[in-house]
Structure 1
Amino acid sequence: MLSRDELHDLFDALAGVPYGGEVVDQRTHALQAAAHAVAAGADDELVLAAAFHDVGRAREVATRYRGMPHEQAGAAFARDHLTERSAWAIERHVAAKRYLVAVDPAYHDTLSPVSVRSLRVQGGPMSPEEVAAFEAHAWAPDAVALRRWDDAAKDPEGPVLAMDDLVAAYERVMS
């Protein structure tokens, strides 16, 4: 289990780290995604998934899981420090974007220009077979919800979850 100080250090290390051309930094993006999860009534496991969904980009995590895409590095970190459900949603948040583009014709138009560019690199819309496989998993709705919070967490004026609230959620889940 991570200590309060380790959690603060992990998220503080994301402050000022660019978020791929978006107008928020990695820390704001993470805590904003978590705030959206709380506002949506998500349980603590999903709030943590929202906060940690891009932790694979943190220097410490990326170094530990060198060579892995950020969603896989983040999921590996989450498997060590969170729950399997949180890890699964983190690992599938990129796939959830591909899924939404495939099943929701209006979704593509909601993506930021940066997210549209990354979608091409990530493989574009899922095939019908990929859609069916994704939908077959019990936690697919969690990954889709996480994806939507991820997409909404790019507003420099948007709400962010206080670190004390994130730590409290972590402690509740891990106790």
Structure 2
Amino acid sequence: MKQADVTLTRETIVAFLGSIFDRRGAEEYLGEPVNMGQHMLQGATMAEQSGQSEEIIVSALLHDIGHFTSEFGTFSMNDTEDRHHEDAGAQVLEQFLPSVVTDCVRYHVAAKRYLCATRPEYAARLSEASVHSLNLQGGPMTAEEVAVFEQNPNLEKIIAVRYLDDAGKRPDMETPDFWHFAPMIQRLVDAHAQDLSVKTQG
């Protein structure tokens, strides 16, 4: 099921996302020892196991979905410029999911730049691939960028998803598949639709 084959709606978005995991989850993840599907499923699984909210779990699961939906294609260690997968993913998801989820997706790259600027020990732990992508993405934030970023009301959750992103690179970790999380995504989709309906009526 490709996007060209289906009109994305509240009723079809979860199946569409699941089809991406099923069809393309085995693709290489940025030179890391796990594939794309494993990477995102590991973040979601760790979030679930640690009792995080459904918003955080779903954000971790979908944070890199833009690698598949972006017209720019998938990151490679040979890249010489950023491909902005975070924006591509957020643009698809913002139609269906709460702003906290789309903020976590849209700003997970910015969160890496933020943490590198504000927590030196964080930068020292980055993988080789993460360092490479950091350089393409602008490097650590400036003081001005840090000040602006800290105004985001979802900052704490964005940072939480960033740490899950960094942790989801374990070749020995077993996880459920996408469909384990599908009902959770649907609940957030339905709640978002209801919120929009209330705002429209109001």
Task: Give the TM-score of the pair, scaled to structure 2.
Answer: 0.78
2:19 alignment counterpart: 9
Could you tell me whether the CA contact under 8 Å between 1:18 and 1:25 is conserved in 2?
yes
Structure 1 residue 12 displacement after superposition:
1.0
Could you tell me whether the CA contact under 8 Å between 2:18 and 2:179 is conserved in 1?
no
Within 1, Cα distance between the matches of 2:83 and 2:122?
27
How many residues align? The count is 172
1:107 and 1:68, CA in 2 relative to 1: closer, same or farther beyond 3 A? closer
1:18 and 1:148, CA in 2 relative to 1: closer, same or farther beyond 3 A? same
Within 2, Cα distance between the matches of 1:69 and 1:138?
22
Q: Kindly name which structure, 1 or 2, has the bigger radius of gyration based on alpha carbons.
A: 2
Structure 1 residue 64 displacement after superposition:
9.7
Secondary structure, aligned partner of 1:81: coil
Per-residue CA deviations over 1:44-98 (Å, capped at 9, x if unaligned) read: 122111111111111xx12499x96100000001112322211111000000000
2:124 alignment counterpart: 109
- Equivalent residue in structure 1 for 2:161, among 141, 146, 152: 146
1:41 alignment counterpart: 51
The residue type paired with residue 35 of structure 1 is: T
Q: Runs of 5+ in structure 2 lacking a partner?
A: 1-9, 74-81, 191-202
1:157 alignment counterpart: 172
Within 1, Cα distance between the matches of 2:146 and 2:49?
28
1:130 counterpart = 2:130: no
Alignment of 1:64-75 (within 5 A): 69-75=84-90
1:120 counterpart = 2:128: no
1:103 and 1:17, CA in 2 relative to 1: closer, same or farther beyond 3 A? same
Within 2, Cα distance between the matches of 1:100 and 1:161?
29
- Equivalent residue in structure 2 for 1:50, among 46, 54, 60: 60
Within 1, Cα distance between the matches of 2:153 and 2:162?
16
Within 1, Cα distance between the matches of 2:63 and 2:21?
12
Structure 1 residue 6 displacement after superposition:
2.7
Structure 1 residue 23 displacement after superposition:
0.9
Give % identity: 35
1:84 and 1:16, CA in 2 relative to 1: closer, same or farther beyond 3 A? same
Structure 1 residue 4 displacement after superposition:
5.2
Could you tell me whether the CA contact under 8 Å between 1:97 and 1:147 is conserved in 2?
yes
Q: Runs of 5+ in structure 1 lacking a partner?
A: none
- Which stretch of structure 1 is more off in the superposition, 18-27 or 165-174? 165-174
Deviating beyond 6 angstroms after TM superposition, the runs of 4 or more aligned structure 1 residues are: none
The residue type paired with residue 104 of structure 1 is: R
The residue type paired with residue 47 of structure 1 is: I
Structure 1 residue 139 displacement after superposition:
0.3
Secondary structure, aligned partner of 1:72: helix
Higher helix share: 1
